[in-house]
Amino acid sequence: MTSGQNRWTLALTALVLIAMFVAIWMVFQYVPNERVMGPVQKIFYFHVPAAMITFLSVFLLMASSITYLWTRNQRWDRISLASTEIGLMFCTLVLVTGPIWAKAAWGVWWTWEARLTTTLILWLLLAGCLMVRGYAQNQDLGARLASVLGVIAALDVVIVYKAVHWWRGQHPIVFKSGEKNPLAPEMYTTFMYCIGVFMALFLLMMILRVTVLALENRTQALAERRTGELS
């Protein structure tokens, strides 16, 4: 990584960290409380963008996994690994924030409702992607197995999204197709801002993680070559 790229990365990191604090301020100070649910509705501003980024990560995971299986180019495997880790992190965020809202709205932390259950399956699939990499006999086998699991995870995303329509679960649907936006202007602005912050976070994390993986691979290759030369 050149010093120019380093400067850009640091600037983007600082910008995203500031944007994160502005998002907290907007959610807790700027946006009004929802009439029926009160302050607990504020979970929506982080829960939904986190779910969107989880879906985005998994679709990137699927695209990079298929491309890796096709080309066996390590670059695609690095993108696949980075999107798995980041997707798992955001999926964890969804599974943590959801029950906080559910306890206040439904009176229980968890219920085996279709969307919740399929989201938990998605989390397990993403964790599985990382585990097979760690437990496989060699790196190539681990990458191939993780790629196959990555494609299955993407299929599960479709089920997560359609679950509330197919099985009519308890999970609320805020934006219904063909219907007017139900949010007040401040709520909509905050929601869109939070989506922007989460997108920037995702972009930053992807850049950083893929760069770290690329440098680690290069360092490992160089260190192995040095050991070979010395022995």
Partner 1 sequence: MKNFDFLFWAYNVIWLGIGGYIVFLVLRLKAVSERLQRLEKSSGD
Tell me if 42 contacts partner 1 by CB under 8 A: yes
Tell me if 17 contacts partner 1 by CB under 8 A: yes
- Choose, by CB under 8 A, the member of 7, 11, 13, 175 that binds partner 1: 13
Give the three-state DSSP class for 37: coil
Tell me if 89 contacts partner 1 by CB under 8 A: yes
Give the Cα separation of 61 and 59 in Å (integer). Answer: 5
- Choose, by CB under 8 A, the member of 79, 93, 143, 154 that binds partner 1: 93
The DSSP code for 2 is -
The smaller minimum CB distance to partner 1, of residues 96 and 141, is found at: 96
Tell me if 226 contacts partner 1 by CB under 8 A: yes
**In 3D, which of 139, 207, 204, 229 has the Cα closest to residue 1?**
207
Tell me if 219 contacts partner 1 by CB under 8 A: yes
Closest distance to partner 1 from the beta carbon of 209 (Å): 6
Token pair recorded at residue 60: 């990137």
Give the three-state DSSP class for 79: helix
Give the three-state DSSP class for 136: coil
The smaller minimum CB distance to partner 1, of residues 39 and 172, is found at: 39
Q: What one-character-per-residue DSSP string does 159-191 give? A: HHHHHHHHS--S---SS-TTS---S-HHHHHHH
What sign results for the dihedral spanned by CA atoms 97, 59, 11, 13? positive
Tell me if 7 contacts partner 1 by CB under 8 A: no
Give the Cα separation of 139 and 59 in Å (integer). Answer: 23
User: Binding string, 48-87, against partner 1, x = CB under 8 A?
Assistant: ----------------------------------------
How many residues sit in the footprint of partner 1 (CB under 8 A)?
Answer: 39
Contacting residues toward partner 1, per CB under 8 A = 1, 6, 9-10, 13, 16-17, 20-21, 23-24, 27-28, 38-40, 42-43, 46, 89, 93, 96-97, 100, 201, 204-205, 208-209, 211-212, 215-216, 218-219, 222-223, 225-226
